[in-house]
Homo-oligomer: A and B are copies of this chain.
Amino acid sequence: MVKRISHKASCCPIARPLDVIGDGWSLLIVRDIFDGLHRFGELQKNLGVAKNILAARLRNLVEHGILETAPVADGSEYQEYLLTAKGRGLFPLLVALRQWGEDYFFDDNEIGVHLVDRKRGQPIKRLELRAQDGRLLAAEDTLVSHAPPKATAASQPAKK
């Protein structure tokens, strides 16, 4: 067995969260819950994943505060899985993954599911990376800096 290296103590904000969601199933579970599947059986059926693996992944996502459980409203003994604010914070990441997937893993006429604006039914815009003054940025216009960043009014992350 290969021991999984933990990035828990990494100073990199890309590495640390990959410990929690970088396993190939967790993001699909989160995607399904965004899409309205909330019960173990529904998730298991849709994902086609072994029950023990799904149970372990759900437990991990609950432990890390990405999901929470709640009793089902019908009074039965079932529980359902809901996204916390931290879990809902994964939406831009899923959109980025979706747009990259659409670009490079599908032929143009092959894409059967689309993420649309609920109000108008039109596809959402591509994610854009922008500077504080609104300039569109490519990767090469950015820099990973170890110095404290120059303060701006909008530099604080908006915790939802």
Give A residues with C-beta under 8 Å from B: 2, 4-5, 7, 11-19, 22-24, 27-28, 31, 34-35, 48-50, 53, 65, 86, 88-106, 111-133, 135, 137-150, 152, 154-155, 157-159
Since A92-B100, A114-B148 are in contact, a sample of 20 more A-B pairs with Cβ atoms closer than 8 Å, ordered by chain A residue number, is A5-B49, A11-B112, A12-B113, A14-B27, A14-B98, A92-B99, A93-B93, A93-B100, A114-B147, A114-B149, A115-B144, A115-B145, A116-B144, A119-B141, A121-B149, A122-B152, A123-B132, A123-B155, A124-B129, A124-B132
Oligomeric state, in number of copies?
Answer: 2
Main secondary structure of the interface of A (DSSP, over half): loop
